[in-house]
Amino acid sequence: MTESLHTESLHTEVLVIGWGKAGKTLAGALGRAGRSVTLVEQSADMIGGTCINIGCVPTKTLVHSAEVRREGDDPSAYFRSAVERRDTLIGKLNAANKAMLEPVKQVRLVVGSVAEFTGPRAVRVTGGEDELEITADTVIINTGALPRPLDVPGADGPRVHDSTSIQHVDPLPARLAIVGGGPIALEFASMFAQFGSEVTILERGERILRGEDEDVGDSVRAALEDQGVRITTGVEATALEDDGTQVTVQTTGEPVVADAVLVAVGRVPATEGLGLAAAGVEVGDGGKVVVDDLLRASAADVWAVGDVNGGPQQTYVSYDDHRIVLSQLTGDGSRSRADRVAVPTTIFLTPPLGRVGLSESEAAEAGRTVDVYAKPVAKIAVMPRPKTLGETHGLIKFVVDAETDEILGAALHTVDAQELINLVALAMRTGTTRQQLLDGIWTHPSSTEALNEVLAPPRD
């Protein structure tokens, strides 16, 4: 005989589903403003959201450990110690995120429970033998995204990983096959190659980073290949066959034998099981919650923030989502996604690739008349910092409006790109011209000094 659930009910002014960047920041701000807030998170391991637990912070911690591995370090033992360091840091951050909200008396935390809509702004939260019926004046959906599965036979095998489980693979695979050629795939390829794995990338397109200009993609490919990464394009995985000791990736080309496989073919919004139809919330392509530029869903007084709304899957974009919703709930309502200009991104390869604005091909498609300023990092005389670090791979490229000298976009494949790209983005937002960046006075030795050379007109 099954025991009946213990059911309680409550009404809250604001219900936040998911403890990601936007959700936790909104919960804290609204609670401190005097609103009653209930924050629901289905896993204690995800307090703080994807970024600090399984995404940005843990992976970049591993990237750094890989970069500083010494040639004499035993790969397997070193990798285990790097994972331990990762876990120690993430445990502290997870606890710190919980501690941020616990003192806010107006915020009720419900952890270890699954939420499902039962009607407009009505949610059933279930955890073990307990059930909580919650109604709210305002609902904020912040459930994030999940790795996209690979729909081929054997994709659920014991040696097949996604971007979360691969962080704890044990032992370090001597041979790692990666299905995918996008940012996540390339970050892990660079990382594991430096940890000591033989890495093979299998990309179904004709080149990696298909959204980038060809010269930028070629620069990244050259850096990866110099790290020992084998890149095979124009092939598609058709099956994963595990014989008990290794896994064979069958493809439309040659098969690849590996000790582990990483599937990195994108991420999809985490909306399955939320019961959004009962709430009257429209779901679009790939399961995303459809929102307008104010992040309002189709149902009244429901917002969706972070990766679940189908926007750029970046923590800092999620943080800006919180600003937009907070503006609607407590401010003048003036903030909007339409305000976003020159939002930068970085892929944390070695060296990293920072991007902002239009690529050369995108500018051409938009009918812009442009000048292109580009130079391989190894040939930039006024930029000694990469040489001091022993990492001179890369390319710095700017796309500039030929008539106004306005910076339309940039791709920075270089050491310190994750910092330098923010300066370029600010320049674009403030109307700073190519000439002004060229004439800037920058510290030495720094990667910023590249602007004094790359942005100069070509000599006759």
What amino acid positions are annotated as catalytic residues? Answer: 444
Q: Give Cα 77 distance to the centre of its chain.
A: 28
DSSP codes of every residue in 35-77 = --EEEEES-GGGTT-HHHHTSHHHHHHHHHHHHT--TTS-HHH
- Report the alpha-carbon distance of residue 364 to residue 374 in Å, rounded: 16
Spell out where 180-331 has E strands.
198-203, 230-233, 237-242, 247-251, 256-258, 260-263, 267-269, 302-304
The answer for residues whose C-beta is within 8 angstroms of residue 122's C-beta and 6 or more apart is 133, 134, 135, 136, 279
Query: To the nearest 10°, the Cα dihedral for 309, 314, 317, 322?
Result: 70
Q: How distant, in Å, are the alpha carbons of 11, 124, 302 from that of 133?
A: 8, 5, 17
- Report the alpha-carbon distance of residue 22 to residue 315 in Å, rounded: 8
- Report the alpha-carbon distance of residue 401 to residue 142 in Å, rounded: 38
The tokens for 293 are 């530029």
Q: How distant, in Å, are the alpha carbons of 86, 353, 371 from that of 60?
A: 9, 14, 34
Task: Tell which residue, 349, 345, 147, has the closest CA to residue 229.
Answer: 349
